[in-house]
């Protein structure tokens, strides 16, 4: 019986693998360098606040660029606030938009979002906030936005 010769990788394949490994390492370094520890710190501040922790929606800082913090929000002109409130408070599913409890829930949302904004802006390196609709949150709840 003939013995099967074991062949190693040819020169082209070795070079190709080395180039791929270098490119992957460069991408990893670029990604790590792009992470801003200040965003993590801001999110830690938001998560550790008892008032925000008790609310059914968790505000998150998405990015921080040139002193502007981009913060997620369930409020937007794209989505009526009533839709959000009916997701987090199922007891409002049949409530009128003008119902007193619905109006009170809207006021609480405004107050909570304002509180989150004040916490973020209290940091020296944050000059302004840009609120961004939380598309992932809505998608998770079956509402897909354009």
Mean pLDDT by 10 residues, the chain (146 residues): 65 88 86 74 95 96 93 90 93 90 95 96 94 94 88
The pLDDT, as a whole number, for residue 77 is 84
Say how far apart CA 130 and CA 89 lie, in whole Å: 26
CB-based burial of residue 135 (10 Å sphere; 0-12 exposed, 13-18 middle, 19+ buried)? Answer: middle
Round to whole Å and give the CA distance between 119 and 35.
Answer: 21
Q: What is the CA radius of gyration of the chain?
A: 24
Distance separating alpha carbons of residues 43 and 30, to the nearest angstrom: 22
pLDDT reported for residue 14? 85
- Domains of the chain (ranges; CATH) run 37-140 (3.30.300)
* Beta strands per DSSP E along the chain: 61-65, 68-73, 128-133
Of 61, 71, 11, the C-alpha closest to 37 is 61
pLDDT of residue 146: 77
In this prediction, residue 95 carries a pLDDT of: 87
- Residue 25 pLDDT: 87
What is the spatial distance between Cα 120 and Cα 128, in angstroms, rounded to a whole number?
Answer: 9
pLDDT of residue 104: 95
């Amino acid at each position: 019986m003939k013995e099967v010769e074991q062949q190693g990788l040819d020169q082209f394949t070795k070079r190709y693998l080395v180039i791929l490994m270098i490119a992957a390492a460069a991408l990893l370094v670029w990604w790590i360098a792009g992470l801003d520890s200040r965003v993590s710190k801001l999110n830690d501040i938001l998560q550790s606040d008892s008032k925000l922790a008790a609310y059914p929606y968790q505000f998150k800082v998405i990015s921080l660029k040139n002193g502007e913090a981009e913060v997620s929000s369930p409020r937007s002109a794209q989505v009526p606030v009533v839709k959000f409130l009916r997701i987090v408070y199922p007891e409002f599913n049949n409530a009128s938009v003008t119902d007193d409890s619905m109006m009170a829930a809207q006021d609480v949302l405004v107050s909570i979002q304002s509180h989150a904004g004040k916490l973020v802006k209290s940091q020296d390196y944050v000059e302004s906030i840009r609120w961004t609709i939380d598309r992932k949150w809505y998608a998770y709840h079956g509402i897909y936005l354009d």
